[in-house]
Chain A
Amino acid sequence: MRNGAVLILGARSDIAMALAHRFAKAEYDIQLAARNAESLDASRCDIELRYKVTVRLHEFDALDITSHKGVLEDLAELPTIAVCAVGYMGEQAQSERDTKAAIKVLRSNFEGPASILAELANKFAQRGSGTLVGISSVAGERGRATNYVYGSAKAGLTAFLSGLRNRLAKKGVHVVTVLPGFVATQMTDGMDLPARLTAEPDEVADAVFKAVRNRNNIIYVKPIWRLIMVIIRNIPERIFKRMKI
């Protein structure tokens, strides 16, 4: 039995790889899209061997938005599900000093993902089915001194996904927004993260898989984050602006 294909954009990240394994296990073929796609060949073999599905590699650069239409045209088949796991944290301090660095963060987390998701949205709408998944972040829920460049881009992505959902609901296309809290990945290697609040990439993948199956709209990976973000969103601005958070 074959369930169609899952396209994973930004396939090199730990979360993306965990997603590829999770969906392959559920008998979906996998399309991995990333820069230097051929370097993912070992992962392609691995997933094919483990789950007996077909895995294809596709060259994809989130920042090269003029190429995005072509990326989709090159796919052997239009995927049933597409997950955008593109993201780049950058360093807040550097973004403050260097506008170019800040723009790279903004473009990687907002412009690039929005561009490819927009192309996919049109194709899915035309077909009248499919699921789009955007990996956004709790950092987009409120700007904080320590990472507002990244956070604001993610806020843009969250709003974009919510708009897409609103538009595509009548067209049979479902949109899932994923808000992971801390995740133990290459991006956070070496950071000192609180264990109870930190998810493993596998947990993110499981949560996304369930959300797609159950057609949930917005999910937090660890339920505790829903509560934390309710509190953080509701702190009055005059207090929030003085907080170190």
Chain B
Amino acid sequence: MKLSGWGRYPTIDAQVTAPRSTDELANLVKEGSAIARGNGRAYGDSAVSPTNTIHMKHFNRMLAFDEESGQLVAEAGVLLADVIEAFLPRGWFPSVTPGTKFVTLGGMIAADVHGKNHHKDGSFGSYVDWIDIFTADGTVQRCSQTENTELFEWTIGGMGLTGVILRAAIRLRPVTSAWIEQTTLAADNITHAIELFENSLDATYSVAWIDCLQTGEELGRSLVMLGEHAQATSVPLRYRKQPFQMPAKRKLNIPVDVPGWVLNSFSVRAFNALYYWNGKRRPKRQIVDWDSYFYPLDSVLGWNKIYGPHGFAQFQCVIPLSQAEDGLTELLAAIASAGAGSFLAVLKRFGAQESRFSFPMEGYTLALDFPVNRKSLALMNELDSITLQHNGRFYLAKDSRMQRDVFLQSDRRAEDYSKYRRDESVSAAYSSAQSERLGL
């Protein structure tokens, strides 16, 4: 069948099987070139193997929960949305969440996802107590910070290339309500935005939305949004007695491809300006429900179709702190001068992180969506070089088009990872279209 990631690019003819038991899984892994697939929310080809994609949808059971520590043991195919549905009413929330709840635990571990609280709490991997993984030699290995540590460290952020994650123990965080107190600050330009972030390192959550079509003095004009879990006493009156209760919401559905001209730079410009001025006018402090705060895009099902039939690609890099301002300025200038606006230009502050292969490092991460066409592919190559010049690196969960040499240059750790995979004889057993493209 034709298979792609969330960006619908590239589309690859792939053999997909959804095993129901470890025995069935074992038989599939024997065939080689296998890659696990969660819910296909990685943008590109990281969860696609042309000959052997293993869909984990039947491994979707929660196995145990410890009310004291908030530790949840669950199979890798469990959706984050289901975890929230089951445990938020009991006062627990994921310690780290990406911008969509339609991801699996396996996918979150494999990409070592980050959230708006990375500067404070680190990435998802910090909340993984142990992992059961189906390795290349056909055995199930438990790994953790004290047991099989090498396997553990390469698996977190390893993009599925160490084996198939079967189960994991993760820790949730206790929360006081299902609401977030949000503070919106307007930044005149990128320097100002960075200043606001640096002054808000205490905030639990922070993220900025950039109007990336502005130039000159206004380059990097943005809204910086800070968030805290609201105390039960400050949730809206109607919900105060049941602070974990939520208003019911309707879902919008985008069933068809939207023609390309809808997304031309003029409409993006108009949208961005409107959003910025609305944000600026909005009360500085607001109380919002968890779903609108963390997952604004999830309420529009299938929004990936608004980029039309050719799909879209995301560019996401991180620039180390010392070079962040220069690097971001150059990136934004290149984007603005190409006039290739994006609805979603998101800036986050990462805290320190040392890992074997995970994406985050201390600095700033910028993420933007572009429709796939010749012009934006060229622009993304330019963004790659700017990132390289500032010692940045790229997020594989978002990548669908990077060149091998750019990647290898950006990440010295890739060589070690390849060596590990060769030494442990994993390379032949597990590979994805992405790992082949990037030479991992």
Contact = CB atoms under 8 A, between A and B. Distances in A.
Nearest to A41: B63
Nearest to A45: B63
Which label, helix, strand, loop or mixed, suits the secondary structure of the A interface? helix
B202 to A, nearest CB: 34
A139 to B, nearest CB: 24
A186 interface: yes
B298 interface: no
Nearest to A46: B61
B20 A49 contact: no
Interface string A36-74: 000000110110011100000000000000000000000
Q: Most chain-B CB neighbours within 10 Å: which of A49, A50, A186? A: A49
B84 to A, nearest CB: 11
Interface residues of B, number: 11
Nearest to B167: A42
Contact of B61 (A43, A51, A186): A43
Nearest to A186: B20
A45 B64 contact: yes
Nearest to A25: B85
Given A42-B75, A49-B62, A50-B82, 10 more contacts: A42-B63, A45-B63, A46-B62, A46-B63, A49-B65, A49-B86, A50-B62, A50-B85, A50-B86, A186-B20
Contacts of B86: 49-51
A46 B72 CA distance: 11
A48 to B, nearest CB: 9
Interface string B65-85: 100000000010000001001
Nearest to A51: B86
B34 to A, nearest CB: 19
Interface string A184-197: 00100000000000
Interface of A: 42-43, 45-46, 49-51, 186
A49 B75 contact: no
A219 to B, nearest CB: 26
Contacts of B62: 45-46, 49-50
20 contacts: A42-B61, A42-B63, A42-B75, A43-B61, A45-B61, A45-B62, A45-B63, A45-B64, A46-B60, A46-B61, A46-B62, A46-B63, A49-B62, A49-B63, A49-B86, A50-B62, A50-B82, A50-B86, A51-B86, A186-B20
Interface of B: 20, 60-65, 75, 82, 85-86
Contacts of B75: 42
Contacts of A43: 61
A49 B64 CA distance: 7
B296 to A, nearest CB: 25
Top 7 closest pairs, chain A to chain B, by CB: A46-B61, A49-B62, A42-B61, A50-B86, A45-B63, A46-B62, A49-B65
Contacts of B60: 46
A50 B62 CA distance: 8
A49 B60 CA distance: 13
Contacts of B82: 50
B208 to A, nearest CB: 36
Nearest to B18: A189
Contacts of A51: 86
Contacts of A42: 61, 63, 75
A46 B59 CA distance: 11
Contacts of B63: 42, 45-46, 49
Nearest to B63: A45
A42 B167 CA distance: 12
A186 B19 CA distance: 10
A46 B63 CA distance: 6
A150 to B, nearest CB: 22
Contacts of A186: 20
B237 to A, nearest CB: 25
B229 to A, nearest CB: 23
Nearest to B78: A46
Nearest to B86: A50
A43 B20 CA distance: 13
Nearest to B82: A50
Contacts of B64: 45, 49
Q: Which of B62, B82, B85 has the most CB of A within 10 A?
A: B62
A49 B85 CA distance: 11
Q: Which of B61, B62, B65, B75 has the largest number of chain A CB atoms within 10 A?
A: B61
Contacts of A45: 61-64
A43 B74 CA distance: 11
Nearest to A44: B61
Contacts of A46: 60-63
Nearest to B60: A46
A46 B73 CA distance: 10
A51 B60 CA distance: 15
B217 to A, nearest CB: 53
A7 B62 CA distance: 21
Nearest to B85: A50
Contacts of B65: 49
Nearest to A42: B61
A71 to B, nearest CB: 25
A161 to B, nearest CB: 30
A231 to B, nearest CB: 29
A186 B82 CA distance: 22
A124 B304 CA distance: 51
